[in-house]
Amino acid sequence: MFFRNKPAVAPDIRKQTIAVWSPGGNNTSVVSLSLAKSISAHTGTFLVELPCLGIPRLAVESGLMDRSNHVDEALLEYERKGSSPTDFCVSAGQNLAVLAANPYALPDHPVVHKVCAADTLQKFPEFCAAQAFKNGYQVVIFDCQGVLASPMTFYALRLANKIILVVERPSDIAWSLLNKRRLTDGYNIDADAFVASAIDERYLGEISEVLRCPVLPVSKLACLAVSGHRETATALQRKQAALT
């Protein structure tokens, strides 16, 4: 674990997992990295990109282009030896560890095709979070690329205390709503776990109206990690509902 300095007066941040997910397959790395940096100003944060689509976005976004330490190697070594994913992360600051997808991976042979055991992809998110907590990280953020049929994405979403739906444009809203309903109605995920966000803040009103969940700009997402965030999100949702 990287050495971390504690702030003099820290907010109350409980141990938790957060999934940053775009059902439409958009680039979530901008949102997840910004969120991780904001939370890491207060507590140890572990950001891992799950390469379900095989697109290495986080390494490029963060500038951490490491050939040896990445989630592809962590996933394979977990299957082979039970190795901890924290052994393969890269420091992005005193309080932030990043485990990005391999930016040098071959597009026709992604890591999800290299695993052997059927349950490796299913178990990896929970193992990753458990190892991060064991090593002293307080918040684990999953950057999710895949659809619900992707094992790592699905199990990360089920594990998460909070799911941030990233909507890039209005055409993504309907598909995001369908996925949200499937998770709440089909898999009993708490509707209060969902928060939406958009890089382009022009669409925040439309997103709130359709998805019926709190909507926050990227710069405000870090408040979700603070204890009492449920009350804050609920109040925001009520305010938005009154406006619509």
Taking alpha carbons only, the member of 79, 82, 99, 86 closest to residue 36 is 99
- Please tell us whether the domain made up of 16-243 is placed in CATH 3.40.50.300: yes
Quick: pLDDT tens for 95-152: 999 999 999 999 999 999 999 998 999 999 999 999 999 999 999 999 998 999 999 9
**CB 147, CB 23: distance < 8 Å:** yes
Question: Burial letters for 113-144: b for 16+ Cβ neighbours within 10 Å, e otherwise?
Answer: eebeeeebbeebbebbbebbbebebbbbbbbb
- Predicted confidence band at 9 (pLDDT cuts at 50, 70, 90)? low
- Predicted confidence band at 7 (pLDDT cuts at 50, 70, 90)? very low
Sequence spans of domains, the chain: 16-243
**CB 88, CB 73: distance < 8 Å:** yes
Q: What is the pLDDT of residue 229?
A: 52
Q: Cα 100–103–105 angle (5° rounding)?
A: 115
Taking alpha carbons only, the member of 151, 159, 141, 150 closest to residue 40 is 141
More confident residue, 84 or 8: 84
Quick: pLDDT tens for 56-86: 999 999 999 999 999 999 999 999 999 999 9
DSSP class of residue 5? Answer: P
Kind plus residue range of the DSSP H or E element containing 97? strand 96-99
Q: What is the pLDDT of residue 240?
A: 43
Question: What is the pTM for the complete model shown?
Answer: 0.89
**pLDDT higher than 90, residue 1:** no
